């Protein structure tokens, strides 16, 4: 296994449930790791940054929600699927708000679980590519970001040049740099990348100029 | 029971009463001394009168008998005074018959010796207050007072006579005369004085009319017969000797109907009349020389007196014993009949042989309707077999047994009774009968049933509070089963040859299934309505079962969990469900108390402990808000609550349950945060080792 392998982390204090879940995920073709408590999960070094967490809501010691909070504070962006024997609506709402992929109630049917895991994996991939894009975005100069916002906003080069008080040729050069730095081959692609950036909270420097 | 039939003949109490009366009358020894002195003098005069002529032979010599009777009736510290008091009487009586002074003194000495000897021996054998109304008392009196004392003292007397050269009779003639006259006097007079003295001292109820009439008839008949036999007859050999037996029927009458007092009085009467007649030369004993006449008369009287007095004493003893027995029986009957408890006796097949008043009253039937019937008919059908089994067990095991069962009330409804049954064994050691004492416990049972219903409702409420936790406890194994089954299916689809893994999965599925059904069974037991069922319980196991139910709840509320189990904890005899209810209540209370406690400070600790004093303790501590001091007094009261949704039943029911187990429940505040509840239960001897 190398560092790019995706792993499903199972955190549940109930031995037999944890083992059953691990068996099922393994049978479905996933690599799994199992932990009996939140602490154990936090203390274990990750073999791979890719993957997701199947997390029991009620754990002895720190609960599932607390683990979610801890991961987010550490900046570890693993999508989380909560599983609970019982759950109240406020609890599930707060879990979802904090970014959980899904909130499942035991007993969990195979299809539901695997669907959720699949969604989490996709989400992980998305998050990984968004992260790359956002790193690329960080590489843009202020002027290039200004140009990007306006290009995505549907403005003509001439209008942008007028707004920014620079030559139209300069705008063209900035635009080419942006396309190159963000790995975009066409304008629609650029718009898509920009949308993903926005979705993940990477703001343009000047929100007042941001037009949609 | 009619009060008229209540008699209080307490034979053992009367001597004291009599003693008091005796002391009252003769509280002054001087009065007694004067009385004895006068009686002694008159007795001597009578003795002189009852001599056969022409040669004076005394047939009956009363003074010594009077002295003996006086000594027997008075405390021994008075004896000296009494002896001194008779000196003048003795001299006065003897001087009249021209007896020398020395002889008078000698006779005084021998008379005193005789009386002292007799009195001392009788007192020694019969105690301070000798009585003649028992066969033993009469026998001892006759043996020592009538025979031995005159027998011995007569040697002294005859010796004195010989020493003083008084009279012409030989030593043995004097001895014989004195012995017989003194023995007869002692027999007739002392028995009269003692028995009538006893009657007078003890007091009798005012005699009834028929009694007086009968006594009068007896007296008249006896006097008439005695006169016919001993007075009106012509002297001589022609006299039919068999006639001397004529007084016998009357004497028997006296002995049978009037006891020792009647017999002794009758005998004295016959004695006096016969001597008087013989002295006058009448009757069957006047045919020979005065000496021979006197002797045969004395022997005749001694024989009659001894047999009659012994008979009278024996009869009276038996009558008194019967009276005492009857009194005792009546006392016991009274005790039984005035009981408010139901008392009955029955054969092993439940046929009633005795029932008391309360039993009849309770079932509203006549005694005759109950005796001979089987009481099993008074017990409702479903309880009958169990009752018969219980009685069979008691017949087998003997001893005592308690039982509670339902009974059919006269109004057709059902009530509850508590009975204590006692096996009664016959002489061969087999159980012949059973005795039972019972009382109505319907009221108590109603309260118990109400309490059980209340406990049940409270249990339902608690389980309701735990629904989420219970769902968790069941869903956990169910979830594992589902995932395992699905994993197995997928594994089989992928690689049908992987049997080992499939086997392992199936084993896990079975394990989880058992786990889920255990939870459900546990909940069902808690929810069922039931009576107290006592069994030997391992408190550690009981505590862990409760903790399993509440674990998820504690997690939900972010409460840290500590538990500590004492090793080798003694077993407790109790009802599993009810004790779990107590514990569940304490744990839930503890959790509720921590609602306002910061999450990181929430903990609940449950531990068990065993003590050498024979107690097992379960301790539940929390870090909640604690108990306000002003709330302690009402903490375990019904409907007292500080919770918004609480009914105030939990702790009061807990206390009720713990007390039904002869235990205690206590609450105290921790030194830091929160409160601690302790349940202390009596331990059973058997130790259940805890794994």
B-chain CB neighbours of A21 within 8 Å are 480, 483
Contact check, Cβ <8 Å, B482/A27:
no
Question: Cβ contacts of residue A132 below 8 Å, gap of 6+?
Answer: none
Q: How far apart are CA B88 and CA B38, in angstroms?
A: 10
Least confident of A28-37, B53-62, B374-383, B638-647: B638-647
A134: buried, middle or exposed (CB in 10 Å: 19+, 13-18, 0-12)?
Answer: middle
When CB atoms are compared, the residue of A60, A86, A110 closest to B472 is A86
* Residue pLDDT, tens place only, B374-428: 988 888 888 889 889 989 988 888 888 888 888 888 888 888 999 999 998 888 8
Q: Are B477 and B512 in contact (CB under 8 A)?
A: yes
Residue A199 in this model has a pLDDT that exceeds 70: no
Would you state the CATH architecture of domain B342-440?
2-Layer Sandwich (3.30)
Distance from C-alpha of A103 to C-alpha of A91, rounded to nearest angstrom:
10
Cα dist from B40 to B34, B123, B273, whole Å? 10, 21, 21
The answer, for B392 touching chain A at a CB cutoff of 8 Å, is: no
Residue of B nearest to A61 (CA): B560
CA nearest to A28 within chain B: B490
Q: How many CB pairs under 8 A join A and B?
A: 88
CB burial of B453-482 (b: ≥16 within 10 Å; e: otherwise) equals ebbbebbebbbebbeebbbbbbbbbbbbbb
Closest-CA distance, A123 to chain B, in angstroms, reads 24
- Tell me how crowded residue B57 is: count the other CB atoms within 10 A of its CB: 23
pLDDT over threshold 50, residue B4:
no
CB of B498 within 8 Å of any CB in chain A? no
Task: Please say if the pLDDT value at position B342 is more than 70.
Answer: yes
**Taking 70 as the threshold, does the pLDDT of residue B234 lie above it?**
no
Per-residue pLDDT, B22: 53
Which residues are bridge partners to B619 per DSSP?
B607, B678
Min Cα–Cα distance to chain A from B466, Å: 12
Which residues in chain B touch residue A16, judged by CB atoms under 8 angstroms apart?
Answer: 476-477, 480, 508, 511-512, 515
pLDDT higher than 50, residue B16: no
Residue in A24, A60, A63 nearest the CB of B483: A24
Neighbours of B239 (CB within 10 A): 18
Q: Do A17 and B480 touch (CB under 8 A)?
A: yes
Q: Does B507 touch chain A (CB under 8 A)?
A: no
| pLDDT of amino acid A201 | 61
Name, in order, each residue with C-beta under 8 angstroms of B565's C-beta and a sequence gap of 6 or more: B540, B543, B544, B607, B608, B690
CB-based burial, A16-53: b 16+ in 10 Å, e otherwise:
bbbbbbbbbbbbbebbbbbbbbbbebeeeeeeeebbbb
Q: Which residues of A touch B490 (CB under 8 A)?
A: 24, 27-28, 110
**Average pLDDT of the segment spanning B232-256:** 76
- CATH architecture, range A7-127: 3-Layer(aba) Sandwich (3.40)
Q: What's the rounded mean pLDDT across residues B663-676?
A: 90
Using a CB-CB distance cutoff of 8 angstroms, which residues of chain B are in contact with residue A39? Answer: none
* B446 CB-near residues (< 8 Å, 6+ apart): none
More confident residue, B287 or B659: B659
Looking at chain B, the whole-number percentage of residues with pLDDT higher than 90 is: 28
Domain boundaries, chain B: 26-330, 342-440, 450-687
Question: What confidence score (pLDDT) does residue B645 get?
Answer: 58
Q: Counting runs of H as helices and runs of E as strands, what totals does chain B give?
A: 21, 14
**Which of A24, A85, A106 is nearest residue B487 as measured by Cβ atoms?**
A24
CA distances from A155 to A160, A171, A174, A175, A210 (A): 6, 11, 14, 12, 11
Contact between A60 and B484 using a beta-carbon 8 Å cutoff:
no
From the list B483, B552, B558, the residue facing A63 with the nearest CB is: B558
Q: What is the distance between the alpha carbons of residues B91 and B88, in angstroms, rounded to a whole number? A: 5
Place of tokens 């006579």: B161
Identify which of B469, B511, B555 has the shortest CB distance to residue A60: B555
Lay out the sheet containing A7-11: strands in order across.
A31-35, A7-11, A51-56, A80-84, A102-105
> Helical H runs in B53-100?
62-73, 79-95
Average pLDDT score, chain B = 84
Q: What is the pLDDT of residue A210?
A: 42
Task: Determine contact: B34 vs chain A, CB below 8 A.
Answer: no
pLDDT for res B55: 59
The pLDDT confidence band at residue B480, using thresholds 50, 70 and 90, is: very high
Residues of A contacting chain B (CB within 8 angstroms):
14, 16-17, 19-21, 23-24, 26-28, 58-60, 63, 83, 85-86, 105-110, 113
Q: Which residue on chain B is closest to A19 by alpha carbon?
A: B480
Q: Residue by residue, what is the 3-state secondary structure of B243-260?
A: HHHCHHHHHHHHHHHHHH
Identify the residue with better confidence: A39 or B233: A39
The reply to whether residue B555 touches residue A27, judged by beta carbons under 8 angstroms, is: no
DSSP string, B402-413: EEEEEEE-TTS-
Q: Is the peptide bond before A92 cis (omega within 30 degrees of 0)?
A: no
Burial B116-128 (b: 16+ CB within 10 A, else e): bbbbebbbeebee
Q: Give per-residue pLDDT as tens, B634-660.
A: 777 766 666 655 555 678 888 888 888
How distant is the Cα of A63 from the closest Cα of chain B, in angstroms?
Answer: 8
Does the model's ipTM exceed the 0.90 cut? no
Mean pLDDT of A142-164: 86
Question: What integer is the mean pLDDT of B346-370?
Answer: 90
For residue A35, name the pLDDT band (cuts at 50, 70, 90): very high
Which residue, B672, B559, B658, B570, is CA-closest to B605? B559
Does any CB of chain A come closer than 8 Å to the CB of residue B316?
A: no
pLDDT digits (tens, 9 = 90+) for B483-522: 999 999 999 988 888 888 899 999 999 999 998 998 888 8
B95 touches chain A (CB under 8 A): no
d(CA B235, CA B229): 11
Residue with token string 């006269």: B410
**pLDDT band, residue B621 (cuts 50/70/90):** very high
Give the minimum alpha-carbon distance from A74 to chain B in angstroms, rounded to a whole number.
21
**Separation in Å, CA of B645 to nearest CA in chain A:** 20
Average pLDDT estimate for B435-446: 88
Locate the chain B residue with the closest alpha carbon to A62.
B558
Q: State the average pLDDT over residues B73-77.
A: 87
Give tens-digit pLDDT for B288-324: 777 788 888 889 899 999 999 999 999 989 998 999 9
Residue B6 pLDDT exceeds 60: no
Half-sphere exposure of B431 (CA within 13 A, CB side): 22
Q: Does B486 touch chain A (CB under 8 A)?
A: yes
Which residue in the set A19, A59, A86 is minimally distant from B468, CB to CB?
A86
Of A16, A86, A113, the CB nearest to B480: A16
Q: Select from A83, A85, A107 the Cβ nearest to the Cβ of B482.
A: A107
Q: What count of residues does chain B have? A: 691
- With cut-offs at 50, 70 and 90, classify the pLDDT of residue B216: very high
Nearest to A112 by CA among A127, A98, A102: A102
Residue of B nearest to A107 (CA): B479
- Give me the residues of B, 533-592, that contact A with CB < 8 A: 552, 555-556, 558, 561
User: Domain locations in chain A?
Assistant: 7-127, 139-209
Mutate which of B465, B473, B485, B487 to test chain A, going by most A C-beta atoms within 10 A?
B487
Tell me the chain A residues in contact with residue B472 when contact means C-beta distances shorter than 8 Å: 58, 85-86
pLDDT band at B54 (very low <50, low <70, confident <90, very high): low
Is the pLDDT reported for residue B687 higher than 80?
A: no
B487 and A86 in contact by Cβ < 8 A?
no
Average pLDDT over residues B121-143: 89
Q: Give the per-residue pLDDT at B12.
A: 39
Give the predicted TM-score (pTM) of the model. Answer: 0.51
pLDDT score of B203 more than 70:
no
Q: Which fold has domain B450-687?
A: Heat Shock Protein 90 (3.30.565)
> A14–B476: do the CB atoms touch at under 8 Å?
yes
Quote the mean pLDDT of chain A: 83
pLDDT attached to residue A32: 93
Mention the CATH class of domain A139-209.
mainly alpha
């Amino acid at each position: 296994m190398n560092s790019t392998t995706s792993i499903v982390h199972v955190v549940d204090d109930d031995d037999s449930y944890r083992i059953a879940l691990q068996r099922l995920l393994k049978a479905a073709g996933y690599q799994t790791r199992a932990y009996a408590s939140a602490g154990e999960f936090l203390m274990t070094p990750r073999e791979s940054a890719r993957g997701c967490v199947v997390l029991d809501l009620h754990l002895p010691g720190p609960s599932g929600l607390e683990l979610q909070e801890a991961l987010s504070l550490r900046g570890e962006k693993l999508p989380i699927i909560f599983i609970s024997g019982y759950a109240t609506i406020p609890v599930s709402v707060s879990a979802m708000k904090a970014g959980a992929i899904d909130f499942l109630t035991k007993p969990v049917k195979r299809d539901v679980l695997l669907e959720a895991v699949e969604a989490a994996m996709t989400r992980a991939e998305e998050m990984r590519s968004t992260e790359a894009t956002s790193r690329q975005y960080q590489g843009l100069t202020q002027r290039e970001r200004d140009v990007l916002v306006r290009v995505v906003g549907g403005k003509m080069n001439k209008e942008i040049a007028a707004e920014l008080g620079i030559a139209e040729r300069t705008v063209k050069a900035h635009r080419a740099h942006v396309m190159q730095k963000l790995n975009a081959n066409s304008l629609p692609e650029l718009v898509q990348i920009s949308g993903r950036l926005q979705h993940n909270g990477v703001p343009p420097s000047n929100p007042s100029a941001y037009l949609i | 029971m009619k009060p008229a039939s209540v008699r209080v003949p307490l034979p053992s109490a009367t001597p004291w009463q009599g003693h008091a009366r005796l002391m009252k009358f003769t509280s002054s020894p001087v009065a007694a001394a004067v009385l004895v002195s006068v009686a002694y003098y008159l007795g001597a005069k009578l003795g002189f009168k009852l001599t056969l002529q022409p040669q004076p032979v005394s047939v009956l010599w009363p003074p010594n008998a009077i002295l003996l009777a006086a000594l027997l009736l008075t405390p021994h510290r008075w004896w000296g005074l009494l002896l001194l008091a008779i000196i003048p009487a003795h001299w006065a009586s003897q001087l009249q018959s021209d007896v020398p002074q020395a002889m008078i003194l000698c006779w005084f000495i021998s008379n005193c010796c005789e009386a002292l000897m007799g009195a001392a021996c009788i007192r020694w054998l019969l105690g301070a207050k000798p009585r003649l109304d028992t066969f033993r008392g009469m026998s001892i009196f006759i043996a020592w007072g009538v025979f031995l004392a005159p027998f011995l003292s007569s040697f002294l007397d005859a010796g004195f006579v010989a020493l003083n050269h008084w009279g012409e009779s030989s030593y043995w003639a004097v001895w014989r005369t004195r012995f017989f006259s003194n023995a007869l006097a002692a027999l007739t007079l002392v028995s009269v004085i003692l028995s009538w003295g006893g009657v007078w001292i003890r007091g009798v109820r005012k005699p009834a009319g028929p009694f007086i009439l009968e006594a009068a008839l007896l007296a008249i008949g006896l006097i008439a017969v005695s006169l016919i036999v001993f007075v009106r007859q012509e002297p001589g050999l022609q006299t039919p000797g068999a006639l001397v037996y004529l007084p016998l029927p009357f004497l028997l009458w006296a002995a049978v109907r009037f006891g020792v007092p009647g017999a002794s009085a009758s005998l004295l009467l016959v004695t006096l009349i016969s001597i008087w007649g013989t002295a006058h030369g009448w009757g069957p004993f006047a045919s020979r020389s005065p000496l021979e006449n006197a002797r045969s008369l004395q022997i005749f009287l001694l024989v009659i007196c001894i047999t009659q007095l012994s008979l009278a004493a024996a009869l009276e003893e038996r009558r008194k014993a019967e009276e005492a027995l009857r009194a005792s029986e009546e006392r016991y009957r009274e005790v039984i009949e005035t009981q408010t408890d139901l008392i009955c006796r029955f054969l092993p097949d439940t046929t009633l042989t005795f029932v008391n008043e309360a039993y009849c009253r309770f079932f509203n039937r006549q005694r005759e309707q109950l005796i001979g019937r089987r009481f099993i008919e008074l017990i409702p059908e479903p309880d009958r077999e169990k009752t018969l089994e219980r009685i069979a067990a008691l017949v087998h095991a003997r001893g005592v047994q308690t039982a509670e069962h339902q009974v059919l009330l006269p109004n057709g409804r059902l009530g509850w009774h508590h009975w204590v049954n006692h096996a009664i064994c016959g002489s061969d050691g087999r159980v012949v009968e059973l005795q039972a004492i019972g009382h109505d416990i319907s009221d108590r049972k109603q309260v118990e049933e109400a309490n059980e219903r209340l406990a049940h409702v409270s249990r339902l409420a608690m389980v309701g509070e735990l629904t989420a936790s219970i769902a968790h406890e069941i869903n956990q194994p169910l979830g594992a089963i589902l995932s395992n089954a699905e994993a197995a299916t997928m594994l089989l689809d992928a690689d049908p040859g992987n049997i080992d893994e499939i086997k392992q999965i199936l084993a896990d599925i079975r394990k989880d299934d058992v786990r889920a059904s255990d939870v459900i069974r546990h909940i069902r037991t808690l929810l069922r309505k039931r009576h107290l069922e006592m069994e030997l319980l391992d408190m550690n196991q009981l505590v862990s079962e409760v903790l399993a139910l509440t674990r998820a709840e504690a997690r939900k509320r972010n409460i840290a969990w500590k538990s500590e189990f004492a090793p080798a904890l003694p077993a407790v005899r109790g009802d599993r469900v009810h004790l779990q209810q107590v514990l569940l209540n304490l744990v839930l209370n503890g959790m509720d108390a921590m609602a306002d406690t910061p999450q990181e400070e929430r903990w609940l600790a449950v531990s068990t402990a065993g003590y050498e004093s024979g107690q097992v303790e379960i301790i539940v501590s929390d870090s909640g808000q604690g108990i306000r001091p002003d709330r302690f007094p009402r903490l375990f009261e019904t409907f007292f609550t500080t919770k918004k949704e609480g009914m105030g039943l939990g702790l009061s029911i807990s206390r009720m349950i713990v007390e039904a187990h002869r235990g205690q429940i206590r609450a105290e505040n921790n030194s830091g945060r929160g409160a601690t509840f302790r349940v202390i239960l009596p331990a059973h001897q058997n130790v259940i080792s805890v794994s």
